[in-house]
């Protein structure tokens, strides 16, 4: 499954980046993620992930401060692949490139619709309450 969603905003891109890059706040904005528990830090941050729809996984996250880009690589769980969130002046976009595994593969088209909707809502939550 591959797609990109984009949300425009008015306000300080640094504030949006602060929200995007706060790994502990992922469940606040991304309601499909119930828990993002950091297990180790370094060049990449490793985490155990618990999903709202059931299932658990492992991920590695990295941030590019200069490019204001968060990349999460899902290594194990109901799906594998990557999610990239980038903040620019006036917009934030999220791109997904993942493959579903096991029983989740059977309902692929429903997953795509659900993930797109969840991504749009997450980007809206990230941009809520900005001033500018």
* Domains contained in the chain, number: 1
Is residue 100, in this structure, part of any structural domain at all?
Answer: yes
Average pLDDT over residues 89-117: 86
Which of these, 10, 13, 2, lies nearest to 89 by C-alpha position? 13
pLDDT in tens, 42-97: 889 999 999 998 899 999 999 999 999 999 999 999 999 999 999 999 999 999 99
**Helices 108-127 and 13-21, axial angle in degrees (round to 10):** 130
Domain membership of residue 63 (yes or no) is: yes
d(CA 45, CA 37): 10
Is the pLDDT at 8 greater than 80? The verdict is yes
Look up the CATH number of the domain holding residue 54.
3.30.530.20
Q: Is residue 26 part of a domain?
A: yes
- Considering only CA atoms, give the Rg of the chain: 14
Residue 116 lies in a domain: yes
Give residue 108's pLDDT. Answer: 65
Phi, psi dihedrals of residue 131, rounded to the nearest 5°: -110, 145
Q: 132 in a domain, yes or no?
A: no
The DSSP-derived string for 58-110 is EEEEEEETTTTEEEEEEEESSEEEEEEEEEETTEEEEEEEEEE-THHHHTHHH
Domain range enclosing 91:
2-127
Tell me the pLDDT band of 22, cut-offs 50, 70 and 90. Answer: very high
């Amino acid at each position: 499954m591959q797609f990109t969603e984009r949300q425009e905003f008015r306000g300080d891109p640094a504030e949006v980046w602060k929200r995007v890059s706060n790994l502990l706040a992922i469940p606040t904005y991304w309601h499909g993620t119930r828990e993002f528990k950091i297990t180790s830090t370094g060049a990449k941050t490793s985490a155990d992930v618990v999903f709202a729809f059931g299932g658990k996984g492992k991920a590695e996250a990295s941030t590019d401060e200069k490019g204001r880009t968060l990349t999460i690589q899902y290594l194990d769980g109901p799906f594998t692949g990557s999610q990239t969130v980038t903040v620019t002046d006036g917009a934030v976009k999220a791109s997904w490139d993942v493959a579903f595994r096991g029983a989740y593969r059977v309902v692929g088209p429903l997953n795509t619709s659900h993930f797109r909707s969840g991504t749009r809502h997450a980007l809206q939550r990230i941009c809520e309450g900005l001033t500018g």
